Amino acid sequence: MAFWILAPIMVVAALGILFVRKAVHAALLLAVVMISLAVLYAVLEAPFLFAVQIIVYTGAILMLFLFVLMLVGVDASDSIVETIKGQRLMAIVLGLVFGAVLVTAFSQISLGTAVGLEEANTGGNIEQLANILFSRYVFAFEATSALLITAAVGAMVLAHRERLTPKETQAAMAAKRMRDYAESGKHPGPLPAPGVYARHNAVDTPALLPDGTASEASVSRVLAARGVMRSAPAMADDIEELQRQSGIDGAVLPGTSGKSGAAANTEASTGEDVK
C-alpha cells in the first residue's frame, strides 16, 4: 500500500530534479525521494537502513550538499543552452531506451513469492545485521573505515589553502591602525555599536552621536548599501504614534531613560521640522 502511494511521489520528485532550474530545489526534491525511500526500507523490513537512510543520507549527506550550495552560491543555476552538440537528445534517447529495456526486462521475469525476513530478523534486525557485518563482512567493514579516513583526509587536503605570507602580529596590526589614523584620520578604535532605543535595538538602526545626528559607521555597510537602514525621523514618527496611542504628551513623558529620552526629544523636534 505504502509503495503505491510513495512510488508516484518518488518518480515525480526524481523527474523534478531533472527539470527544476535551481539547485536548491533539486536538493529538496532529492530529500523527498530519500525520505520516501527510507519509508520503503521500513516496509521492506529493514529498520536499520530506514534509520541510516534518514540520518546519514537525508540528514548528513544532503545537508552537506546544501552547505556547499550555499558556499557556491544559491543563485548558480544552469543555463538552458546545451553546449555539447546532440548531447541532450542522445542522453534522453539512450536513457529512455535503457530504462525501457530495464523495465521491460524486469516486468517479464517473475520473482515468485518473497521469502520474507521474519526468519532472518529473529532476534532483531540490527542484531542480525551486526552478526553478519562483524563476521562475514568484517574485512570489508574495516576497509570502509580506511576509506572514510582517507576521504576525510582527502577533503581536508582539497580544502586546504596554503598561506602565502606570514601571519600579521598584533603589534603590527596596531601599528598599522595608528599609521592609518595619522595618515588619513581613520578611526583607530572599534566602530560604534548600533543604536539601542526603547523599541528598537536592531542592527539596522544607527546610533546617535552626541550632537544628535545618526552615525553611519554604526550600521553595517551592507544594510546601508541595500537601503534598509532605518532613519531617525522614522523613529520619531514612531514615538509620536506611541504618544498618541498612549495619550501622553511627549514633553512630559516620565520614565524614559536619559539617553533615550534625549534622543527621542531631539528626533521628535527634527521630525516635526520635516513635517
Q: Which of residues 114-173 bind another protein (CB under 8 A)?
A: 114-117, 119-121, 125, 128-129, 132-133, 137, 140, 144, 147-148, 150-152, 154-155, 158-159
Phi-psi region of 185 (alpha: psi -120 to 50; beta: other; left: phi over 0): left
Residue ranges in the chain assigned as alpha helix (H): 2-19, 23-43, 47-52, 62-72, 87-108, 125-133, 138-159, 170-184, 221-226, 232-246, 258-274
Residue 38 CA to residue 46 CA, distance in Å, equals 9
Per-residue CA distances from 75 to 21, 24, 29, 78, 122 (Å): 10, 9, 17, 10, 50
Among 99-107, 166-174, 247-255, 262-270, which window interacts with another protein (CB under 8 A)? Answer: 99-107
Residue numbers 23-42 binding another protein by CB under 8 A: 23, 26-27, 30, 33-34, 37, 40-41
Phi-psi region of 79 (alpha: psi -120 to 50; beta: other; left: phi over 0): beta
For another protein, the closer of residues 64 and 217 by Cβ is 64
Q: 249: Cβ–Cβ under 8 A, 6 or more apart, which residues?
A: 243
Among 48-56, 191-199, 204-212, 267-275, which window interacts with another protein (CB under 8 A)? Answer: 48-56
Find the binder of another protein among 1, 54, 90, 221 (CB under 8 A): 90
Q: 47: Cβ–Cβ under 8 A, 6 or more apart, which residues?
A: 41, 125, 126
Residue 64 near another protein by CB under 8 A: yes
Find the binder of another protein among 103, 138, 174, 175 (CB under 8 A): 103
Find the binder of another protein among 2, 39, 51, 108 (CB under 8 A): 108
For another protein, the closer of residues 57 and 197 by Cβ is 57
One-letter amino acid of 107: S
Q: Kindly determine how many residues on this chain lie close enough to bind another protein according to the rule CB under 8 A.
A: 87
For another protein, the closer of residues 2 and 248 by Cβ is 2
Residue 46 near another protein by CB under 8 A: yes
Find the binder of another protein among 2, 56, 174, 182 (CB under 8 A): 56
Find the binder of another protein among 9, 39, 59, 61 (CB under 8 A): 61
Q: 43: Cβ–Cβ under 8 A, 6 or more apart, which residues?
A: 2, 3
Q: 261: Cβ–Cβ under 8 A, 6 or more apart, which residues?
A: 253
Among 84-92, 174-182, 196-204, 213-221, which window interacts with another protein (CB under 8 A)? Answer: 84-92
Residue numbers 254-273 binding another protein by CB under 8 A: none
